[in-house]
């Protein structure tokens, strides 16, 4: 496609960029996507190799962290603060869906109205019901395994394929939840359990985070992108965007980017959509400085990069006498509990968390904390394969002191300023995590665990909140349709647009927002010229 013919320029080919590009191209819009990585050959996935677990313990091409992976297409992310997060992302066609576990919950209706309900943070300018048809459409496009009818969530359409098996570990957790009378339900997964739209079902290999070679996991390079390309969308891989350009009136013209060999290229479009995740998006906006936007594009109010949210996380493991199958089957979660999801003031914190029944990694990962020596094998035999895991996903309320800024020392391979993340846990999050550890320990003990292992908490990506959605330019970066307040033809569509982070994995909400934003862009097509 010639540069002069482009209607919409999409930056980033991950979950949001793929869904949005498909929706727009299906309407006949001419879309070009710039992606700083390339297509990933499934035959290179670590899941195809016997030493796949070494990707967790050394610097490898598929390590979860760009700081450890050090691929050419990665950019460094320096971390600071009292509780610096472990940053996970992947730069490629498909983005972090290459690595994700496929856990696919939706936000609760209350997550959009926390100011109204709990007098904290801010309400979203949209509701769950505004997103519900897009949640359903996205489920249909990807194929979701699961079971409708969860009493803790609004009714939803029939899942495209049946739920993945609970396995012995899942049934063990069910025993604990049932004894305590706590909510539990089988998880929705972006992993199909039966053939769907030409894709093969999950074969329960259990290495999902290291790439799914058969395509059962709904990575967007296997789902949305082939359809978008059939509709005429173009992906320019190995294209790292340096900045979004603007004209003298303050409208976006397009972007300047580096191609694979390092040459500077310019591309023009009528609309620019940024889909670079909660770190990459503020990094690009802050790097896009001009006379009209000296502090970065869309940053006249100083909010770009502020209110960085993740999901404070605990991994609690129960050790059982019986052998378990936690290392077998999809690395996603067979079930979850939202018993402690909504605010209960008697607990001493606001909002809540989800407990996920978590499958464990394999023997190498479980052996790494056991000292070497004569007793190593005996000690290892006590925990493997005897562990059942619970993961806490805590609602991380926005704090302006948690930020993504530009690093003044580090640059990427093209000389563009790196991202600097500063993060500290709030007192509310600390109290929430303490409560979650107590309740996780309780249910594991009731389920029969002879011992419970509680390592320190881990603050993991998901990357959210740094170009937040709101009602006006004083409280947000983008409006209810994901359009940047101060630039009429730039949209931000990814986790950075989240007003609050909720206590669930964000991918299904990111994609639903992208599909909704595509419709809003389409509705304003007469204003592009």
Name beta bridge partners: 264. 258
Q: Which of 175, 448, 418, 403 is nearest to 307 (CA)?
A: 403
Q: Where are the beta strands (DSSP E) in 327-445?
A: 335-337, 353-358, 387-394, 403-411, 417-422
39 pLDDT more than 80 = yes
57 pLDDT more than 90 = no
Contact 439, 316 (CB under 8 A): no
**Mean pLDDT of the chain, nearest integer:** 94
The H-assigned helical ranges of 4-125 are 15-26, 54-57, 66-69, 114-118
pLDDT at residue 287 in the model: 98
Rounded to whole angstroms, the Cα distance separating 253 from 245 reads 5
Rounded to whole angstroms, the Cα distance separating 194 from 187 reads 16
pLDDT digits (tens, 9 = 90+) for 116-154: 999 999 999 999 999 999 999 999 999 999 999 999 999
* pLDDT above 70 coverage of the chain, percent: 98
Q: How confident is the model at residue 52 (pLDDT cuts 50, 70, 90)?
A: confident
pLDDT at residue 46 in the model: 84
Rounded to whole angstroms, the Cα distance separating 29 from 21 reads 9
Name beta bridge partners: 421. 79, 404
pLDDT at residue 50 in the model: 80
Rounded to whole angstroms, the Cα distance separating 249 from 486 reads 11
Structure tokens at 22: 């498909």
Contact 23, 227 (CB under 8 A): no
Alpha carbon distances (Å) from 103 to 14, 120, 321, 522: 16, 27, 28, 30
What's the whole-number mean pLDDT along residues 312-318? 94
pLDDT at residue 58 in the model: 67
Task: Classify 250 in phi/psi space as left (phi over 0), alpha (psi -120 to 50) or beta.
Answer: left
pLDDT digits (tens, 9 = 90+) for 160-180: 999 999 999 999 999 999 999
pLDDT at residue 3 in the model: 66
pLDDT digits (tens, 9 = 90+) for 378-435: 888 888 899 999 999 999 999 999 999 999 999 999 999 999 999 999 999 999 999 9
Q: Which SS3 state, helix, strand or coil, does residue 448 take? A: coil
pLDDT at residue 56 in the model: 63
Question: What residue segments make up the domains of the chain, in order of their start?
Answer: 3-43+63-527
3-43+63-527 has which CATH code? 3.50.50.60
Contact 257, 267 (CB under 8 A): yes
83 pLDDT more than 70 = yes
What's the whole-number mean pLDDT along residues 344-372? 89
Angle at 238 between CA 234 and CA 239, to 5 degrees: 75
Q: Residue holding tokens 């290892």?
A: 380
pTM: 0.97
């Amino acid at each position: 496609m010639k540069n002069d013919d482009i209607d919409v320029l999409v930056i980033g080919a991950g979950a949001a960029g793929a869904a949005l590009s498909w929706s727009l191209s299906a309407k006949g819009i001419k879309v070009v996507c710039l992606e700083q990585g390339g297509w990933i050959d499934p035959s290179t996935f670590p899941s195809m190799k016997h030493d796949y677990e070494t990707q967790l313990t050394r610097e490898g091409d598929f390590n979860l962290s760009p700081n450890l992976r050090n691929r050419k297409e990665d950019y460094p992310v320096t971390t600071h603060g009292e509780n610096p997060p472990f940053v996970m992302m992947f730069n490629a066609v498909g983005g972090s869906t290459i690595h994700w576990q496929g856990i696919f919950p939706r936000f609760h209706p209350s997550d959009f109205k926390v100011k109204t309900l709990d007098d904290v943070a801010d309400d979203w300018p949209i509701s769950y019901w505004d997103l519900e048809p897009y949640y359903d459409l996205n489920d249909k496009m990807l194929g979701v395994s699961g079971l409708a009818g969860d009493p803790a969530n609004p009714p939803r359409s029939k899942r495209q394929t049946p739920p993945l098996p609970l396995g012995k570990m899942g049934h063990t957790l069910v025993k604990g939840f049932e004894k305590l009378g706590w909510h539990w339900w089988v998880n929705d997964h972006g992993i199909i359990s039966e053939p769907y739209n030409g894709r093969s079902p999950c074969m329960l290999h259990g290495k999902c985070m290291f790439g799914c070679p058969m395509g059962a996991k709904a990575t967007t390079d296997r789902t949305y992108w082939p359809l978008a390309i059939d509709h005429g969308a173009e992906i320019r891989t190995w294209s790292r965007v340096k900045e979004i350009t603007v004209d003298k009136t303050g409208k976006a013209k397009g972007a300047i980017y580096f191609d694979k060999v390092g040459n500077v290229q310019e591309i023009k479009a009528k609309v620019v959509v940024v889909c670079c995740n909660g770190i990459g998006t503020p990094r690009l906006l802050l790097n896009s400085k001009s006379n009209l936007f000296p502090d970065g594009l869309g940053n006249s109010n100083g909010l770009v990069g502020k209110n960085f949210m993740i999901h404070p996380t605990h991994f609690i493991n129960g050790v059982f006498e019986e052998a378990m199958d936690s290392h077998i089957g999809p690395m996603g979660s067979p079930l979850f509990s939202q018993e402690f999801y909504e605010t209960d003031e008697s607990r001493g914190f606001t909002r809540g968390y989800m407990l996920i029944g978590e499958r464990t990694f394999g023997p190498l990962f479980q052996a790494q904390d056991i000292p070497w020596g004569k007793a190593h094998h005996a000690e290892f035999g006590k925990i493997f394969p005897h562990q059942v895991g619970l993961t806490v996903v805590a609602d991380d309320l926005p704090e302006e002191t948690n930020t993504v800024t530009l690093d003044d020392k580090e640059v990427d391979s093209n000389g563009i300023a790196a991202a600097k993340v500063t993060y500290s846990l709030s007192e509310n999050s600390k109290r929430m995590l303490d409560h979650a550890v107590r309740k996780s320990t309780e249910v594991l003990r009731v389920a029969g665990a002879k011992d419970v292992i509680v390592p320190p908490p881990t603050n993991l990506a998901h990357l959210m909140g740094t170009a937040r959605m709101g009602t006006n330019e004083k409280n947000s970066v983008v409006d209810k349709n994901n359009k940047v307040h101060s630039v009429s033809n730039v949209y931000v569509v990814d986790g950075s647009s989240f007003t609050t982070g909720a206590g669930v994995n964000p991918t299904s909400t990111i994609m639903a927002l992208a599909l909704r934003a595509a419709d809003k862009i389409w509705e304003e097509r007469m204003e592009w010229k």
